[in-house]
């Protein structure tokens, strides 16, 4: 997928055609959060479209050193879109706005107590990526072609749950849910499929 107006229009149309699961108030134990599926050019002059993935900083209190989409907890009175755009600015220095939002995917409840809303953002002309070292150890561009490979995702069983654990295989490493589940649903939306991921499991190390 080239990083151009046609791709932006096509992804926006896929997102518009995706019927999210009905919103409901989260369980009392769940806190609202949002992440950005931020779409950028795959590389310097590379021409392809990629999404941004981060490695969380080692000094963070929770989920340190784990793969994540840019995002975090919603502030009081803040919508999921506002939170996702704020986190893009705070974590990566990207100055995105409401007009850059292409759509939203299903909310995903995590074992660690969050209800995450994924926000698809076209991050063109929003400034250079400048990761905040207090939150981000590294930033990676994952080409959309990579998430569309037949072997990009797999599902395994664990004794602690009767739900399938989803994994995204990238460059010989596994990225797990919730990140893998959200990327998987985005891949399915790109293919025109309304695949649900709310029941896909996380590995035990991500439960806290």
Domains belonging to the chain, first-starting first, are 5-146 (3.90.79.10)
Residue 59 pLDDT: 60
Model confidence at 28, in pLDDT bands (50, 70, 90)?
confident
Using a pLDDT cut of 90, give the percent of the chain over it: 78
The arithmetic mean of pLDDT across residues 157-178, rounded, is: 93
Residue with token string 């939203």? 104
Question: Which of the pair, 137 or 18, is modelled with greater confidence?
Answer: 18
Q: How big, in percent rounded to 5, are the helix, strand and coil portions of the chain?
A: 25, 35, 45
Q: Is the pLDDT assigned to residue 156 strictly greater than 70?
A: yes
The arithmetic mean of pLDDT across residues 84-93, rounded, is: 97
Closest listed residue to residue 7, CA positions, set 190, 200, 198, 152: 190
Backbone angles phi, psi at 181, to 5 degrees: -65, -40
Model confidence at 207, in pLDDT bands (50, 70, 90)?
confident
Residue 23 pLDDT: 74
Residue 22 pLDDT: 87
The arithmetic mean of pLDDT across residues 11-20, rounded, is: 97
The arithmetic mean of pLDDT across residues 87-93, rounded, is: 96
The arithmetic mean of pLDDT across residues 93-104, rounded, is: 97
Look over the chain and give the mean of its residue pLDDT values, rounded to a whole number: 91
Both tokens of 184, joined, read: 């998987």
What is the distance between the alpha carbons of residues 160 and 140, in angstroms, rounded to a whole number?
A: 31
């Amino acid at each position: 997928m080239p990083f151009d107006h046609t791709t932006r229009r096509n992804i926006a149309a896929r997102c518009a055609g995706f019927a999210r699961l009905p919103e409901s108030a989260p369980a009392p134990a769940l806190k609202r959060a949002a992440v950005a599926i931020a779409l950028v050019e795959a590389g310097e002059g590379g021409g392809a479209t990629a999404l941004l993935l981060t490695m969380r900083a080692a000094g963070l209190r929770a989920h340190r050193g784990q793969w994540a989409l840019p995002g975090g907890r919603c502030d009081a009175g803040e919508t999921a879109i506002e939170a996702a755009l704020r986190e893009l600015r705070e974590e990566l220095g990207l100055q995105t706005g409401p007009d850059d939002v292409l759509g939203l995917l299903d909310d995903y409840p995590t074992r660690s107590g969050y209800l995450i809303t994924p926000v698809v953002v076209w991050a063109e002309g929003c400034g250079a990526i400048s990761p905040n070292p207090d939150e981000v150890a590294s930033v990676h561009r994952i080409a959309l072609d990579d998430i569309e490979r037949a072997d990009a995702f797999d599902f395994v069983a664990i004794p602690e749950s009767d739900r399938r654990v989803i994994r995204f295989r990238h460059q010989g490493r596994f990225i797990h849910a919730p990140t893998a589940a959200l990327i998987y649903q985005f891949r399915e939306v790109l293919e025109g499929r309304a695949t649900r991921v709310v029941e896909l499991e996380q590995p035990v190390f991500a439960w806290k």
